[in-house]
Structure 1
Amino acid sequence: MSFDYDLFVIGGGSGGVRAARVAAQTGARIALAEEDRYGGTCVIRGCVPKKLMVFASGYPQMMREAGEYGWTVHAGGFDWHAFRSKLQAELDRLEGVYRKILSGNEVDTFDARATVVDAHTVRLGSGEEKSAKHILVAVGGHPIKPDMPGADHGLTSNEIFHLDELPRSILIVGGGYIACEFACILNGLGVQVTQYYRGAQVLRGFDEEARGLVANEMIQSGIDLQLGTNILEMEPAEGGFRVKSTDGGEKIFDQVLFATGRKANTGGLGLEEVGVELGRNGEIVVDDYSQTAVPSIYAIGDVTDRVNLTPVAIREGMAFVETVFNGNPTPVDHDLIPTAIFTQPEMGTIGLSEEAAREQEEIEVYATSFKPMRQAFAGYDQRVLMKLIVSKANRTVLGCHIVAPEAGEMIQLVGIAIKNGATKEEFDRTCAVHPTMTEELVTMHDPVRTA
């Protein structure tokens, strides 16, 4: 049977674009359809603009520290409009890069919504149909709001980058990394931030000691973090929105941001009708090779709700091409993925938390918390954490958790050692770089506890 393409990719985010580019380099005929902006969640409304906002929000503390180091600093107020204009220009540039990557690799692109008609056919928004030997779905996900009165008035992470004005006050609802990151960002930009989370501690699923330190530092920085609290309803009021909470209180905020979960973008794609299995949250169910229940249809990235991180989507795309186009079946490796939470301070983590490791086997915990040199000299009480979880049986480092400025940069490098099975003794044999924060990772000789 003759097809228009060897591969039709639905979705122009990081995973879809990488898969299309690499597949095209094998000589295959590739097409890609994207209904919104190329670059997807990460580039347009996620990691990239968020990290730039993280940078912007860090300058007030840097300027305060500069004064303690002898510099005379005359700082004006934050110009949101100037920053937002430059931010949008950068996102436009990056979208252009993604388009150029595709065109440079002779990938046919369609700026249109594409839906699945059958195992080998997609239909574009224009009604035109294209056939393909393989279909790759990489459409990502979207933030969702809670089912409660007035929720439509709230913002999500999609809209936060496009505000006409920065609010004077904001309520952030949620306790995951998106909620905590935006709480820190907006607090740093001068917004009065309140955060409600229904659980006992933010950043559920991460190491308890690490997330506890992040929460304490958030509170110390001025964020009104209210745990065990949720929102019941909200309504427009003079000065913003009146919010009723589960603790019986009522407050008015300029804006309310919901960071209460995400859902796969599978609605209306026609997947179930052709036999693709969807999970409870609408995610596409795939095997270890990203293949769906329909052999010619594959899926990667957040739409599969496996590990929802941009580098993971890219690696899934590479494994897909290796499997389908290079004849080398390559399962996706989701084990020991380093990751960072860009709060202030940041958290970097890889492997098992102390709690998860304790349930698995006998462990030793090596940890230290201290005031880092730079902040201590400036008179601040901020603390950092360096923590290793070690197997008693074979001395392998099962997990590493860092809470510190630039923890994301640190965990990337530590992750190489842990991914390659380094033992505690191999950490110990590595000479310390002094004076640094991470030298503690190779100088902690005695465990603080065993379990």
Structure 2
Amino acid sequence: MMEYDFDLIVIGAGSGGVRAARVAAAHGANVAVAEEHRVGGTCVIRGCVPKKMLVYGSHFAEDVRDAAHYGWNLGETSFEWETLRDNINADVDRLEGLYTNTLDNNDVELFRERATISGPNKVMLQSGREVSSRYILVATGAWPMVPKVPGAELGITSNEVFYLEKLPRRVMIAGAGYIANEFAGIFHALGCHVTVVNRSDQILRGYDEQIRDRLLQISTQKGIEFIFNANFERIEKKDDETLRVHFDEHPGCDTDLLLFAIGRSPKIEGLGLEEAGVKIDDKGAIMVDADYRSSVPSIFAIGDVTNRVQLTPVAIREGQAFADAIFGNKPTRVDYATIPSAVFSSPPMAGVGFTEREAREQFGAVKIYTSDFRPMRNVLAGRQERSLYKLVVHAETDVVLGIHMISPDAPEILQAAAIAVKARLTKAQFDETIALHPSMAEELVLMR
């Protein structure tokens, strides 16, 4: 048999790549990982983890205001962006150390440099060293997209937002997906004037319409400004270092910070994939089969780079399935049918299963149950913000096809509720479950 330097080389040390490397090594494989940035990938270093910490930090603004209604006299308060920023980045450093330790503890060799594919079984490192491997796994994730308009380089993406020197007074966010709405809530709570600009007339396309409409209503009431059906024409820097943003059919706007959150594309540029014979689809994603194998039998891909589902837990499951199948003799495939997701907006959204529109398109008649209420905490705090829970139920079988909600702690509640949807429980079984009172979660079993 042909000799290789490694059994597996993983390009990309994000959550999916690290899981695949660790599990493959545990099965006895000789594994190496190449990472040109930092170990941990998008989620840990410049994505969901530091962003969730920003969400926590921004929520204290409302907590402080609400505290007075609960009898707390806190006196004068102030916020220091630098403290929050530096503490978050310090914890990111800690997490990177843990991910690196995971590789070390499993005897995975780490190349801290860029790697490109130089053949079906070969990888060229930036240092000039070429190494061979029986299998290559591409797990390079995705990268923020930036519009191709004059002056786009004056804006930033979610990669840079965690390192701002100071908190801007005005923030313009391009896009209306989950990243855009999350940062809109964060910056608004921290005292910035936020303007969200989108090229279409809706936010959060693909999410349940009632839930996303409620978020738009709440966000607008909070003071977040939305500009719809707007396309960027050019961006200019003014003499005072602020930005002037020009649109095609809307008046221009001034801002101190322009954040592009218009989507993410697979990070494959310059990897040598097409030269090696790997097929790429029209969206720039690596085409793989159900077992993550590309058009080249020795090259596999998982996670955002395949553009299936851009979620960290999905990439982790795919990495586990790949390693178990190839090195553990345990053929496994990921079930993509019922994946819960959340938007850590203000308030957060969460959902699993079919939206109402999707259910009607596939099954025809469905039953919809909703609970529209003001959380107890908001009542005493004097805030009018209302929560909305929604069950989508099959009209004939009574199976709960989807659960969608916008409410404080919605993601925490939905994780358990997602098990019920996965298990195909019925509305009757929800009704038979005794409510946990007083809680917001009890509304899930009280809808009639």
* Range into which the TM-score falls when normalised by the shorter chain: over 0.9
Counterpart of 1:399 in structure 2 is 402
1:273 maps to amino acid: E
| Residue deviations 1:363-387 (CA, integer Å, cap 9, x gap) | 1000121111110111110010110
Match status 1:435 vs 2:438 = yes
Does structure 1 retain, via aligned residues, the 8 Å contact 2:230–2:250?
Answer: no
| Residue deviations 1:226-261 (CA, integer Å, cap 9, x gap) | 223333221001340011224431221111111111
Does structure 1 retain, via aligned residues, the 8 Å contact 2:23–2:324?
Answer: no
Does structure 1 retain, via aligned residues, the 8 Å contact 2:14–2:139?
Answer: yes
Counterpart of 1:283 in structure 2 is 285
Counterparts of 2:406 and 2:443 in 1: how far apart (Å)?
A: 13
Counterpart of 1:302 in structure 2 is 304
Match status 1:201 vs 2:202 = yes
Counterparts of 2:250 and 2:85 in 1: how far apart (Å)?
A: 37
Counterpart of 1:448 in structure 2 is none
Q: CA deviation at 1:33?
A: 0.6
1:69 maps to amino acid: Y
What are the residue-to-residue correspondences of 1:321-400 with 2, within 5 Å?
321-361=323-363, 362-400=365-403
Counterparts of 1:17 and 1:76 in 2: how far apart (Å)?
A: 42
Counterpart of 2:314 in structure 1 is 312
1:299 maps to amino acid: A
What TM-score does the superposition give when structure 2 sets the normalisation length?
0.98
Structure 1 stretch displaced more, 342-351 or 389-398: 389-398
Counterpart of 2:420 in structure 1 is 417
SS in 1 for 2:118: strand
| Residue deviations 1:138-168 (CA, integer Å, cap 9, x gap) | 0011101111121111111111101111111
Does structure 2 retain, via aligned residues, the 8 Å contact 1:120–1:131?
Answer: yes
1:430 maps to amino acid: T
SS in 2 for 1:272: coil
1:438 maps to amino acid: A
Identity %: 48
SS in 1 for 2:96: helix
Counterparts of 1:437 and 1:77 in 2: how far apart (Å)?
A: 31
Counterparts of 2:260 and 2:295 in 1: how far apart (Å)?
A: 34
Counterpart of 1:127 in structure 2 is 128
1:410 maps to amino acid: I
Structure 1 stretch displaced more, 66-75 or 289-298: 66-75
Counterpart of 1:449 in structure 2 is none
SS in 2 for 1:273: coil
Structure 1 stretch displaced more, 307-316 or 245-254: 245-254
What are the residue-to-residue correspondences of 1:137-156 with 2, within 5 Å?
137-156=138-157
Counterparts of 1:66 and 1:230 in 2: how far apart (Å)?
A: 42
What TM-score does the superposition give when structure 1 sets the normalisation length?
0.97
Counterpart of 2:225 in structure 1 is 224
| Residue deviations 1:101-158 (CA, integer Å, cap 9, x gap) | 0001000110011111111111111111111111110001110111112111111111
Counterparts of 2:360 and 2:76 in 1: how far apart (Å)?
A: 48
Q: CA deviation at 1:75?
A: 4.2
Counterparts of 2:298 and 2:186 in 1: how far apart (Å)?
A: 43
Counterparts of 1:292 and 1:338 in 2: how far apart (Å)?
A: 27
Counterparts of 1:411 and 1:48 in 2: how far apart (Å)?
A: 19
Structure 1 stretch displaced more, 327-336 or 189-198: 327-336
Counterparts of 1:230 and 1:222 in 2: how far apart (Å)?
A: 22
Counterparts of 2:320 and 2:69 in 1: how far apart (Å)?
A: 48
Counterparts of 2:136 and 2:253 in 1: how far apart (Å)?
A: 49
Counterpart of 1:161 in structure 2 is 162
**Pair 12,424 (structure 1): closer, same or farther in 2 beyond 3 Å:** same
Counterparts of 2:369 and 2:142 in 1: how far apart (Å)?
A: 38
Q: CA deviation at 1:321?
A: 1.0
Does structure 2 retain, via aligned residues, the 8 Å contact 1:286–1:292?
Answer: yes
Counterparts of 2:108 and 2:90 in 1: how far apart (Å)?
A: 25
Unpaired runs of 5+ residues, structure 1, are 446-451
SS in 2 for 1:35: coil
Q: CA deviation at 1:184?
A: 0.4
Does structure 2 retain, via aligned residues, the 8 Å contact 1:300–1:317?
Answer: yes
Counterparts of 1:238 and 1:253 in 2: how far apart (Å)?
A: 13
Does structure 1 retain, via aligned residues, the 8 Å contact 2:171–2:195?
Answer: yes
Structure 1 stretch displaced more, 184-193 or 230-239: 230-239
Counterparts of 2:39 and 2:306 in 1: how far apart (Å)?
A: 19
Does structure 2 retain, via aligned residues, the 8 Å contact 1:173–1:230?
Answer: no
Counterparts of 2:98 and 2:383 in 1: how far apart (Å)?
A: 42
**Pair 75,320 (structure 1): closer, same or farther in 2 beyond 3 Å:** farther
Q: CA deviation at 1:199?
A: 1.7
Counterparts of 2:76 and 2:232 in 1: how far apart (Å)?
A: 37
Counterparts of 2:230 and 2:438 in 1: how far apart (Å)?
A: 42
Counterparts of 2:281 and 2:74 in 1: how far apart (Å)?
A: 54
Counterparts of 1:75 and 1:282 in 2: how far apart (Å)?
A: 52
SS in 2 for 1:274: coil
What are the residue-to-residue correspondences of 1:4-83 with 2, within 5 Å?
4-83=5-84
Q: How many residues align?
A: 445
Q: CA deviation at 1:395?
A: 1.2
Counterparts of 1:230 and 1:343 in 2: how far apart (Å)?
A: 24
Does structure 2 retain, via aligned residues, the 8 Å contact 1:229–1:245?
Answer: yes
Counterparts of 1:40 and 1:427 in 2: how far apart (Å)?
A: 39
Counterparts of 2:395 and 2:324 in 1: how far apart (Å)?
A: 37
SS in 1 for 2:360: helix
1:60 maps to amino acid: A
RMSD of aligned alpha carbons: 1.0
Q: CA deviation at 1:281?
A: 2.2
Does structure 1 retain, via aligned residues, the 8 Å contact 2:142–2:265?
Answer: yes
Does structure 1 retain, via aligned residues, the 8 Å contact 2:324–2:330?
Answer: yes
SS in 2 for 1:242: strand
Counterparts of 1:440 and 1:119 in 2: how far apart (Å)?
A: 54
Q: CA deviation at 1:397?
A: 0.7
1:426 maps to amino acid: Q
SS in 2 for 1:6: strand
Counterparts of 1:122 and 1:73 in 2: how far apart (Å)?
A: 59
SS in 1 for 2:398: coil
Counterparts of 1:328 and 1:49 in 2: how far apart (Å)?
A: 35
